[in-house]
Structure 1
Amino acid sequence: MGVSDKEIVDLDIEKFNDITKMDGVVVIHLSAEWCGPCQAFTAVFHETAEQHDDVIFASLDTDTQPELGAAFNVKSIPTIAVMRGGAVIFTHEGSLSENALNDVIRQARAIKVEEVRKSVQAGLSQS
């Protein structure tokens, strides 16, 4: 496959606010430049991105965007976060294989956005 042609969004606060308004699946790779395992996972992340035109793939550098890293409650990197309908529906600390990441995306697609929104609203009304 070689070098990835699909654009990976570099997340900052503004772009993050934009993607939280989307109904589709968003896969975020939280990492840092100095992190060896993060760099190793980048190839898998890019290869998987090539297979999913309907999914937004984004990268978040926890060193340059610490407030976003904190919003995801990141304890270790790499971390994968999957969002749907503006809500985080899956997080995983550590790398994933290409097959595992594809499976997570398949499951995220199967979730009904309306159910995510109801769940978020129910959680907000309890606080």
Structure 2
Amino acid sequence: MADEVSGIVALDVAKFNEITKSEDVIVIHLSADWCSPCKAFKAVFRATAESHDDDVVFASLDTDSQPELGAAFNVKSIPTIAVMRGGALIFTHEGSLSENALNDVIRQAREIDIDAVRKSVAARAAK
């Protein structure tokens, strides 16, 4: 279910598999309902989501209700912010970020040459 105000997508395994097929930047807020810092960061995350075009997908992941996805991101503490592009995880950060810092991460993610990233990953896997 999406957050009605900001269009933030609530992730489960099926939705994760669907959205990671795109070339778009995907920004994921990994959190839990009981986490006070997560609740505080939610306002920053929502404001950032509302300020971006459709080329950035904003998603939330409840690590309690979706433990397999939390494990896939190797979450050690929450909140954690993860950024993906073209199906590749390109950034993670444990803890909150300011809106300016999150916008800068998104700017950098947009600028990444995703084909170069894929070639680098393939080269490392071949070794």
TM superposition score normalised by structure 2: 0.92
Partner residue of 1:35? 35
1:4, distance to aligned residue in structure 2 (A): 7.1
Deviates more, 1:40-49 or 1:5-14: 5-14
Give the letter for the 1:87 counterpart: A
Q: Percent identity?
A: 73
Asked whether 1:48 is paired with 2:48, we answer yes
Asked whether 1:74 is paired with 2:81, we answer no
8 Å Cα contact 1:62-1:69 kept in structure 2: yes
Distance 1:9 1:106 in 2: 20
Q: Which runs of 4+ in 1 moved over 4 A?
A: none
Partner residue of 1:112? 113
Partner residue of 1:22? 22
Partner residue of 2:7? 7
Q: Could you list the runs of 5+ residues in structure 1 that have no partner in the other structure?
A: none
Q: Could you list the runs of 5+ residues in structure 2 that have no partner in the other structure?
A: none
Distance 2:126 2:17 in 1: 22
TM superposition score normalised by structure 1: 0.92
How many residue pairs get aligned? The number is 124
